[in-house]
A and B are shown apart, each in its own frame.
Chain A
């Protein structure tokens, strides 16, 4: 079974804090993704990575950065959290860029 694990299910942070969201997958997938999901807006792609140390901007990269130092791990970084970044963050991975996506359980971030 493919397993995508996100380090924190629930986080509460203050405006201006730096936030790290970690994601690990155990299926040797090439591609990893970070989405955010908001009511009425669906899933929106923040960043993705198709190889170690490679990253590509998605549809809404502003205010976020990512790091992929190892194939199995993809981190999302909020350098200075803001209230409009309160959301559910979903990590996913797959073999082919347009193949089946396997998601983690999500990290619900609240920024006060």
Chain B
């Protein structure tokens, strides 16, 4: 099983729609979770952290389900500018005992006019 797994998509969604995607992780001891956004030919940038209680930032809502070991990202009223690849990032404990951030392969989202 991959440490961090995402549906690669692509998700093609009409403008104004709501879209959600999940990310599953293998290490039940993981403590920190993030969503990054990567535009085409650009570097990844932090979109939002994911807290145990869930968190919302405008049209974006992130949630954590520890029992089922997944995090989710919900985008409401999608805009053309939301087209990007969304990367799930999880803090995994490495074999050496050091913590490290592990990236999913990303979910590609295209908003259609």
Contacts and interface: CB of A to CB of B under 8 A. Distances in A.
Interface residues of B, number: 22
A100 B34 CA distance: 9
A101 B99 contact: no
A104 B100 contact: no
Given A40-B8, A42-B87, A42-B106, A98 B101 contact: yes
Contact of A90 (B34, B43, B99): B43
Contacts of B31: 98
Top-5 shortest CB links A-B: A42-B105, A103-B43, A43-B103, A98-B91, A100-B46
A111 to B, nearest CB: 20
Interface in A87-112: 90, 97-98, 100-101, 103-106
B39 to A, nearest CB: 11
Interface string B37-48: 000001111100
Nearest to A45: B100
B105 A104 contact: no
Interface string A35-56: 1000011111100100000001
B32 interface: yes
